[in-house]
Amino acid sequence: MALKPGTITDYDNSMAQAMEEAFLAEWKNAMGDADPPEPNNQMRLMFVAVAQGVVRHLHENPDAFRIDNLIDAFHLATGLKSIDSNLDP
């Protein structure tokens, strides 16, 4: 399955939507009894931009997921070849 950062017009089941849900879930912990904001496109723009930036960065840097294991005299280096996303290259 590809990472789906989301867009304003394709928001469902995206990383941006997950960020919005986490934001609203944590609202009370940070803001106490203040009413949470009503989600709108202006607020969602922030989540979409962050999600797209995260996915683009991961997609462009699969080497960051290299794992080195040293077991006795054996060295095993594994990592990702690529990260599947629905972002245009």
How many folded domains does the chain comprise?
1
Q: What is the pLDDT of residue 88?
A: 64
Summarised one tens digit per residue, pLDDT across range 59-69 is: 888 878 777 77
In a domain, 10, yes or no: no
In a domain, 24, yes or no: yes
Summarised one tens digit per residue, pLDDT across range 19-72 is: 999 999 999 999 999 999 999 999 999 999 999 999 999 888 887 877 777 777
In a domain, 86, yes or no: no
Where in the sequence is the domain holding 41, given as residue range(s)?
15-78
In a domain, 84, yes or no: no
pTM (predicted TM-score) = 0.77
The DSSP result for the chain, as a single string, is --B----SSS-TTSHHHHHHHHHHHHHHHHHTTSPPPPP-HHHHHHHHHHHHHHHHHHHH-GGGG-EEEEETTEEEEE--S---BSS--
